[in-house]
Structure 1
Amino acid sequence: MSLDLSFILILVLRMGIAAAFVVSASMIAERSGPVIGALVATLPISAGPTYVFLALDHDAGFIAEGALTSLPINAATIFLSLIYAVLAQRRTVLISTACAVAVWLALAALIRSVQWSLAAGLIANAITFAICLPLLARYRHAKMPLITRRWYDVPLRASLVAALVAIVTSVSGWAGPAISGMLALFPIVFTSMMLILQPRIGGPATAAVIANGAWGLIGFGIAVAVLHLGVLHLGAQEGLSLALATCVGWNLGLWWVGRRKKAAK
């Protein structure tokens, strides 16, 4: 088998695996309401497979450095959530999503121009969440109507995440860890849910899913910091495992707290 054919087959396999993760998780999110849906959406179902594939191609230093850029990118995602939640109350899906993504891209370009340390990334996340969490609170509650699935839902979601994996895997060799870390955290799950859910259940209900994801993004940011430290000191496999455990543990904790509050009412 030629080298080019082998690369193409491996790339297609990676795209398929990552797409299956994202499609399955987003379907669970649609059926479970805004709170549970948000917890599922903020699991590393897109960034996780992307980082695993990067770890197969690069050493631990590459992954650790990429995580340093991913950390402030997580802060950009919360701004994307805020812009979308505000606009989706009255605007169309295309306007709301396009403006939110445009803000994310502008912030990503700004982040790319800075040399980030772990402390700086954590501070950026802390300041961002302190600003955005109170502003998102008013959009967290909305009635979730019954969802009717359309024929293009699964192909659209699968295509979006597969394209992300293909881009990150293909360009990581020459783009370097910083750009790879940025691309790995492109909010593919959030944007696919915006594009698919809003035409069916309306802007306020879709915004509720996105707004509820803010608390999950805090745990995601912590997981990225754990990834950096774990990969740097223990190795890629250990770092990735610790990051996944951190993210899952945080979201399970949020779910447990939510259940306790609901039971106390």
Structure 2
Amino acid sequence: MTVFYLKFLITPTLMLAISLAAKRWGTHIGGLLSGLPVTSALVMLFLSLEQGPGFALQAVPGALAGLAAVQATYLFYYQMTKRSGALIGSIAALLVYALSAVLISHVGKVSVSVALTLLLLSVIIAVTTKPSHSGQSKVVSLPRWVIPMRMLTATALLLVITACAQWLGPVLSGLLAPIPIIAWPLAVFAHVQGGHDELGAIVRGNAIGALGVLGFYLAINMTIVPWGTVPAIAAAVVLAVVATFAVAKLLQRR
């Protein structure tokens, strides 16, 4: 029961904190924070606590496939909405996510997912690098219902994945973990209210954050069984945060 109550306490609190930070400091920081492995870390934590470290280890290939699919979706949405509106772009992007997630997870190889993710991240960072992103970052005004929606959705997703983990299996459970509950609404609202450049700032920040997520999953893959649940996930989260902001700083200097 303690684990059950922790889900209700930790998940909405983290969603609220990151959403308020994104609201306060603008689209670039919002993209970075929304790209961090918040939902992913919580899913892996509770999968490991409830199903065992071995189950969480088996979920890593699915999670990496999901991460690649998410980045493919962002790249598709960013490119497509140069010529179409947000509504059509969102519907098409969801279809791209479903198709790419199925295809990449069907391959089932960690090396393929990692290579594809790195390729997609490189392309995203390249196509979204513009002078307007190097300095100022706009603060996008979100409707009041968006933050509560994120808190409820993230908590519901965590409860569904962990409750149905044995039925879903480790691969599908992992595949659902990287779903961008924070980043996707932020990206769409940034696009609608701030235009394509602001969408680019969110997508770019999320791509940089995804490098940390990639490190998170690779660290989990190496340490969750020998180290145990809490030390492995704590170390992986620290690695993700350090890697994300180190890369962001490096790219900013360039």
What does residue 19 of structure 1 align with? Answer: 12
Cα separation, partners in 2 of 1:10 and 1:227, compared to 1, 3 Å: closer
Report what 1:52 is aligned to: 45
TM-score, normalised by the number of residues in structure 2: 0.86
Relative to structure 1, is the Cα distance of residues 234 and 216 closer, same or farther in structure 2, using a 3 angstrom cutoff?
Answer: same
Contact 1:67–1:228 (CA under 8 A) maintained in structure 2: yes
Secondary structure of 1:137's counterpart equals: coil
Alignment correspondent of 2:224: 231
* DSSP-derived class of the 1:187 partner: coil
- The whole-number CA distance in structure 2 between the counterparts of 1:35 and 1:195 is 14
Q: Tell me: CA distance 1:201–1:15, structure 2 relative to 1, closer, same or farther (3 Å).
A: farther
Q: What are the equivalent positions in structure 2 for 1:1-265 lying under 5 Å apart?
A: 11=4, 14-116=7-109, 118-137=110-129, 141=133, 144-257=137-250, 261=253
Cα–Cα, structure 1 residues 61 and 255, in superposed 2: closer, same or farther, change >3 Å? same
Q: 1:210 to 1:127 in 2, by over 3 A?
A: closer
Distance change in 2, residues 1:148/1:38 (3 Å): closer
Q: Is the 8 A contact 2:65 2:105 kept in 1?
A: no
1:208-261 CA deviation, whole Å, 9 max, x = no partner? 2122321221221122111111113322222211210110111231344356x2
Supply the distance in 2 between the matched residues of 1:216 and 1:89 (Cα, whole angstroms).
23
Given that 1:81 and 1:211 are in contact with CA atoms closer than 8 Å, whether structure 2 keeps it comes out as: no
Gaps of at least 5 residues in structure 2 are: none
TM-score normalised over the length of structure 1: 0.82
Distance 1:127 1:147 in 2: 29
Q: Is the 8 A contact 1:140 1:207 kept in 2?
A: no
Runs (4+) off by over 4 Å: 9-13, 142-146
User: Can you list the C-alpha shifts for 1:84-126, whole angstroms capped at 9, x where unaligned?
Assistant: 222344533322222222211111111232232x433333333
Shift of 1:187: 1.9
Greater Cα offset, 239-248 or 205-214: 205-214
- The 2-side partners of 1:25 and 1:127 are apart by 27
- CA shift, 1:203, in A, is 4.2
Partner SS for 1:103: helix
Aligned residues: 253
The separation in 2 between residues aligned to 1:59 and 1:165, in whole angstroms, is: 16
CA contact (8 A) 2:190 2:202 kept: no
**Kept in 1: contact 2:187–2:202 (CA 8 A):** no
How far, CA to CA, are the matches of 1:137 and 1:23 in structure 2? 29
Q: CA RMSD in A?
A: 2.7
- Shift of the 43–53 alpha-carbon distance from structure 1 to 2, 3 Å rule, reads same
**Structure possessing the higher radius of gyration over alpha carbons:** 1
Residues 1:78 and 1:179: Cα distance change in structure 2 (over 3 Å): same
Tell me how far 1:156 sits from its aligned partner: 2.0
Q: Supply the distance in 2 between the matched residues of 1:163 and 1:219 (Cα, whole angstroms).
A: 24
C-alpha change, 1:120 and 1:206, in structure 2 (3 Å) is closer
Identity of aligned residues (%): 21
Q: Deviations over 1:171-212 (max 9, x none)?
A: 112111100100111122221213444444344313321223
Q: CA deviation at 1:132?
A: 4.1
